[in-house]
Amino acid sequence: MANKRVLFIEHDHVSLGGPVWEQFKNRGYEIVRFLIVAEEHYNTPNVTVIWPNVLEFDAVVVMGAPWGVWEDERIGNWLLPELALVREVHNSGIPILGICFGGQLMARALGGSVARAPQYELGWHSIESDDPSLIAQGPWFQYHYDRWQLPPDAIEVARTKLSSQSFICGRTLALQFHPEIDPTVLDAWLDMEGGCVDFEEAGVDIHALRDETKRQMPASNQRAYDLVDQFLDRIATSPIHRV
């Protein structure tokens, strides 16, 4: 029997999966990566995309991005088609895990909205979870300046004082935080020009952040493994929801 396949939709060239990749592989999934904006187009991201047949996959993971889910004019060439595409995937019953931009994308695709938040969340933060067996309280890594308003049929699972952190809608699990972070992923982000929040302009001590990420890695990796397991065992087997 062929392995199951999971499609990782990567919006930029530094969308590494870290422990999320690792646990999908541990669960017998073949990782298929699809890049939208190549490094040479980073400053001109409104590219035209030829999408794969996403309905051929057993699960889809929608990754983060340095752009906003509300920036139709800036990235509309692929943003608007992606919104329609993930809605179709959701309605077909294929499980979707949305991470940061990917979670915001699912919020908008399923009838919610996304806008700039009053301030950013950056670094390691604990969250308030209604279901710690599904979404642990963390700490989880935050790297965002936007936040969603929940879709009508969504069940919020976790939050901080600033923003909703996770919701379930059918076989979709949306996350605002980054379970994929590890020192390698963080280094790639720090090497990237710009981003959704500039670390140094935000007054972040880069050396301390790297040290904290290394210190967190054993426990944060395990939290990511557990989250992937819960997604596959609980969310992916939920009743199909359609919008």
Residues 33, 69: Cα–Cα separation, whole Å: 20
Helix%, strand%, coil% for the chain, nearest 5: 35, 25, 40
* Domain spans, the chain: 4-235
Instruction: Report the SS3 class of residue 229.
Output: helix
Asked if 51 and 26 count as a contact pair (C-beta separation under 8 A), the reply is: no
What is the value of pTM for the model shown? 0.97
Closest CA to 188 of 8, 17, 6: 17
Which residues form the catalytic set? 100, 178, 180
Token pair listed for 127? 């969250």
pLDDT of residue 102: 98
Contact, 85 vs 56, CB < 8 A? no
Compute the chain's Rg from CA coordinates: 16
Cα separation, 132 vs 148, whole angstroms: 21
> In order along the chain (243 residues), what is the average pLDDT of each group of 10 residues?
87 97 98 97 96 97 97 97 98 98 98 96 97 98 96 98 98 98 95 71 88 98 98 98 97
The CATH number for 4-235, chosen from 3.40.50.880, 3.40.50.11060, 3.30.420.40, 1.10.390.10, is 3.40.50.880
Beta-bridge mates of residue 122: 143
What is the model's pLDDT at position 226? 98
- Measured distance CA(89)–CA(62) in Å, rounded: 11
CB-based burial label for 194 (10 Å; 0-12, 13-18, 19+): exposed
Would you state the pLDDT for residue 194? 64
Across the beta sheet with 155-159, the strand order is 29-35, 4-10, 59-62, 96-99, 172-175, 164-169, 155-159, 128-129
What pLDDT shows up at residue 204?
86
pLDDT at 1: 46
CA 43 → CA 74, 77, 123, 201, distances in Å? 10, 15, 25, 19
The Cα–Cα gap between 62 and 157 comes to: 19
pLDDT of residue 199: 79
> What's residue 196's pLDDT?
60
